[in-house]
Structure 1
């Protein structure tokens, strides 16, 4: 009998009934929300006209609608779907690895490292989007590697967690030094980037990110049995045949490779990787065979909705999307803490 087949039935069947129906409902909700978000904004596009606009339209208003839809709205919605899905499935993997429903990808330094790389690039004069994005990606990987190298020497994941906390604090301090030296123009870029935005969405960017997010998400989905085994504890999972050190290393690497490019493109967007997997777990149960794909879809829904709100609540201005996610995620986290203390 294989190690995977030895996982106790309660660990594998922790999901509640209706799992396929829940995934179909999430997919339908994502499609409906994406259509609504593509039609809404400073310029309203009639939903019934969307098929004709996609196939080609005449002049006047319809030509303008088509240009806005194809060049602005749809790439932005697609980027929101990719980023939300990647952050949420990464959060679910981190919560399984740390066996803590309040864990998220930022715990291992990937977000703080990306922020430091981007801030350093802006203040040092390399303010173009490719330069800032590349610096953020390198910073994310460097911070994650440092957390793993410094904290992964002992058994378990407590050392990685502590190293991640220390690296987050150090990155925050260095970001403060760069911010202190920044000019007024640079401060505006730093503020907007640090709060997150999807304004850089373009089709070439979406086309580059889509296969990357799909591949790494598929690799995380493949480890659902190991994540289920982790529900029992690391010692029990090891008795079931899972090698803990390679598993920890693989999950941390996959999350860093998945979240790093997303942070490089959108800036820091908090709480999606924490709140969404936890809500899905409360609804569908702890079986990662359902939890991971449901978190992926729910994360896409959450960030698409957040970006839609960021665009429409202050027309013609636009709120940084990180503000919207924090306004929702912060109170939810406080509610979780209060609930756990009762």
Structure 2
């Protein structure tokens, strides 16, 4: 009961923070629109009525700003969820969503779609999504032996595949020619020109995936004790590991496919929330997901607030890296 109340309090507070960040972000841009007007426009759209606001303001909010904000929230939600699970799965505070090669695979697919569209005749997000899943599956196959997948072997296989795919991406960038700028911009991570379609498709993957992970939060807690202890407590260890790895890879693939490679969200946010709420994944997973959503919306707001818009991946790295170093110096980064 106490856990439920505590979880509810944290989730309620973080939902409020996410709504506040969303409203604040939607007011920022070349055209000033007040928070009250934004709320009225969004509420009218939900209710199917007409807001008492200029048509230009309704278009800006509903067609430009809110799709980008919602997509950013979905991507941040996915990356933080996957990062939380990966850190618990590997029992390693340095683990992040890309540790099993998902981001490297997505980058390979996306860059191939940009610089060699004849060889990869599909839309960029589809190429990135497929590349991410193929890389994750390849890492799993390479690390599996005799029906078991040792965590350390999986980690090493992920590093090897990331290195190889990184070399492939570098080769394609050298050969990119006039497509180099587009490829590099995608690799930096961005939410530019976001649409409701992208946000809806990403959410359709992320929300069910998150619910699946949340259903296994207790099992993930038990896995922290070690695989032998988890097995003795009735956990189907290999099946649980496969499920956690598959769903986390799906969430990361969906996020990277629509927004490019955005670093540090899945690394730093779970650390911060673990310090605040503790290691229980029944609390840590939902709070990290909501904190990741609010964090990415906030950083993307900073990225587009200046005279020249920056890829959001630059801002998350600029904020996340120094903060992570601060945690290291304070010796607050430790195993889950």
TM-score by length of 1: 0.89
> Residue in 1 aligned with 2:271?
278
2:97 equivalent to 1:109: no
The aligned length equals 325
Distance, in Å, in 1 between the alignment partners of 2:52 and 2:332 is 61
Residue in 2 that maps onto 1:156: 150
Q: Distance in 1 between matches of 2:246 and 2:200?
A: 23
Q: 1:127 to 1:187 in 2, by over 3 A?
A: farther
Instruction: Output one character per residue of 1:269-293: Cα deviation in whole Å (capped at 9) or x when no partner.
Output: 0011111111100000011110011
Alignment correspondent of 2:318:
327
Q: Distance in 2 between matches of 1:126 and 1:35?
A: 42
In structure 2, the gaps of 5 or more residues are: 45-49
Match of 1:212 in 2: 205
- Cα distance change on mapping 1:242 and 1:260 into 2, 3 Å: same
Does 1:132 pair with 2:124?
Answer: yes
Structure-2-length-normalised TM-score: 0.91
Residues 129, 195 of structure 1: alpha-carbon distance in 2 compared, 3 angstrom cutoff:
farther
Question: Is the Cα–Cα contact under 8 Å of residues 116 and 174 in structure 1 kept in the other structure?
Answer: yes
Partner of residue 20, structure 2: 32
Q: Deviation per CA, 1:275-322, whole angstroms, max 9, x where unpaired?
A: 11111000000111100110111010111111111010x22x210000
Segments of structure 1 that go 5 or more residues without pairing to the other structure are 1-11
Q: Which secondary structure state, in structure 2, belongs to the residue aligned with residue 108 of structure 1? A: coil
1:16 deviates by 11
Q: 1:259 aligned to 2:252? A: yes
CA drift of 1:200 comes to 3.4
Query: Is the contact made by 2:139 and 2:154 (CA closer than 8 Å) also made in structure 1?
Result: yes
1:79 to 71, 74, 83: 71
CA distance in 1, matches of 2:41, 2:239: 50
Conservation of the 8 A alpha-carbon contact between 1:200 and 1:266: no
1:176 lines up with 2:167 in the alignment: no
Task: State the Cα distance separating 1:71 from its structure 2 match.
Answer: 0.1
CA distance in structure 2 between the partners assigned to 1:104 and 1:16 by the alignment: 27
Rounded to whole Å, the distance in 2 between the matches of 1:137 and 1:255 is 13
Cα separation, 1, equivalents of 2:95 and 2:260 = 20
Between stretches 77-86 and 198-207, larger displacement belongs to 198-207
CA distance in 2, matches of 1:321, 1:130: 25
- 8 Å CA contact 1:102, 1:274 repeated in 2: yes
Does residue 227 of structure 2 align to residue 234 of structure 1? Answer: yes
Displacement of 1:338 in angstroms is 3.3
Deviation at 1:337, TM superposition (A): 3.3
> Which residue of 68, 79, 98 corresponds with 2:60?
68
Q: Deviations over 1:47-83 (max 9, x none)?
A: 2223444433578xx2211110010011111101111
How far apart are the structure 1 equivalents of 2:250 and 2:7?
29
After TM superposition, give the deviation of residue 162 of structure 1 in Å: 0.2
Which residue in 1 is equivalent to 2:47? none
Return the alpha-carbon distance in structure 2 between the equivalents of residues 224 and 52 of structure 1: 38
For 1:4, the equivalent position in structure 2 comes to none
SS of the residue 1:105 aligns to: coil
Q: 1:195 aligns with which of 168, 174, 188?
A: 188
The 8 Å contact of residues 112 and 120 in structure 2, kept in 1 or not, is answered as no
